[in-house]
C-alpha cells in the first residue's frame, strides 16, 4: 500500500511540476514577444508579406471556426491598410476534403482581398513549420504574423529565434472559448516551442523555392 501511495504521490508531483513549467514557459514566451505585437495594423511596420496561420475551417459547434474567421478579418484589414502586399495562408491539407489554406483563401477573397495577393502553403502543419517555411521556401526575412494573441506570440518567438524579423497582428480572440483544448494547449505548445528552438527541429516538409510577387500564386 505504501508503495502504491508513493507512486501516486510521485506521479502527482511530476504532473504538477509539468503544469508549472509549462505555465512559466508560456508566460516568458509572451513577455519576449510582447514588444512586437499589436492589435492595430497602424502600429505595425510595412512589410511585403503577412503570414496568416491556419485553423480548422469548421469549429466544434459545426459552423465556421471563429478563431479562423477572426484571423481572416484581421489579415484582410492588414492588407486593406496597405501594410502588406501579399498574404501567405499557411495551414494543413490532410486530404479527404480537409484543406485549411484553400478555405482561408476563399475567406480572404470574400473579404475583398484579390486572389493575386494570396499564396497558399499546404504544409503548415504546425506553427513552427509555417514559420520556417515562410523563410526557407518563400524567402521571407521580414514578416507580420496574423493570429490570436497567444498564438501570434509563439509564432513571433519562433520566427525571431530563426533570425526572421517578425511582428504579430493580434486577431480578435474568442471571448467564450468553445474549445477548451484550444485554450489549454497553449501551455504545452510553449514548452514544445522551446524544445524546437533548442534542438533545431526541421519542418516536416521541404519544397521548391517560391518567390512571392514573382511566381504566380498557387
Mapping DSSP onto H, E and C, the string for 69-91 reads HHHHHHHHHHHHCCCCCEEEEEC
- Identify which of 127, 132, 128, 133 has the alpha carbon closest to the alpha carbon of residue 119: 133
Question: How many Å apart are CA 164 and CA 153, to the nearest integer?
Answer: 14
pLDDT value at residue 3:
65
pLDDT in tens, 95-114: 778 999 999 999 999 999 99
pLDDT tens digits for range 126-180: 999 999 999 999 999 999 999 999 999 999 999 999 999 999 999 999 876 555 6
Strand 142-148 and strand 49-53: the pairing is parallel
**What phi and psi, each to the nearest 5 degrees, are found at residue 207?**
165, 160
> Taking the domains of the chain in order of start, what are their residue ranges?
2-199
> Which three three-digit cell numbers place residue 32?
519576449
pLDDT in tens, 61-82: 778 999 999 999 999 999 999 9
Per-residue pLDDT band for 116 (boundaries 50, 70, 90) equals: very high
pLDDT at 13: 58
Distance, in Å, from the CA atom of 204 to the CA atom of 15, rounded to the nearest integer, reads 29
Q: What is the pLDDT of residues 2-58, one digit of tens each?
A: 666 555 555 665 556 556 566 666 778 888 889 999 999 999 999 999 999 999 998
High-pLDDT (> 90) share of the chain, % = 64
Do 84 and 48 contact (CB within 8 A), yes or no? yes
Amino acid at each position: 500500500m505504501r508503495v502504491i501511495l508513493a507512486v501516486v504521490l510521485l506521479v502527482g508531483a511530476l504532473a504538477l511540476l509539468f503544469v508549472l513549467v509549462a505555465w512559466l514557459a508560456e508566460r516568458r514566451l509572451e513577455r519576449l514577444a510582447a514588444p512586437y505585437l499589436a492589435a492595430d495594423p497602424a502600429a505595425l511596420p510595412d512589410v511585403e508579406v503577412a503570414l496568416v496561420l491556419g485553423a480548422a475551417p469548421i469549429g466544434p459547434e459545426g459552423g465556421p471556426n471563429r478563431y479562423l474567421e477572426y484571423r481572416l478579418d484581421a489579415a484582410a484589414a492588414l492588407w486593406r491598410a496597405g501594410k502588406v502586399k501579399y498574404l501567405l495562408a499557411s495551414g494543413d491539407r490532410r486530404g479527404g476534403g480537409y484543406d485549411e489554406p484553400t478555405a482561408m483563401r476563399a475567406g480572404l477573397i470574400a473579404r475583398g482581398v484579390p486572389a493575386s495577393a494570396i499564396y497558399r502553403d499546404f504544409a503548415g502543419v504546425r506553427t513552427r513549420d509555417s514559420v520556417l517555411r515562410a523563410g526557407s521556401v518563400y524567402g521571407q526575412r521580414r514578416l507580420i504574423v496574423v493570429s490570436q494573441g497567444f498564438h501570434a506570440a509563439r509564432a513571433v518567438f519562433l520566427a525571431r529565434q530563426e533570425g526572421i524579423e517578425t511582428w504579430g497582428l493580434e486577431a480578435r480572440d474568442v471571448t467564450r472559448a468553445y474549445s477548451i483544448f484550444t485554450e489549454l494547449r497553449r501551455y504545452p505548445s510553449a514548452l514544445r516551442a522551446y524544445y524546437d528552438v533548442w534542438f533545431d527541429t526541421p519542418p516536416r516538409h521541404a519544397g521548391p523555392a517560391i518567390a512571392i510577387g514573382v511566381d504566380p500564386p498557387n
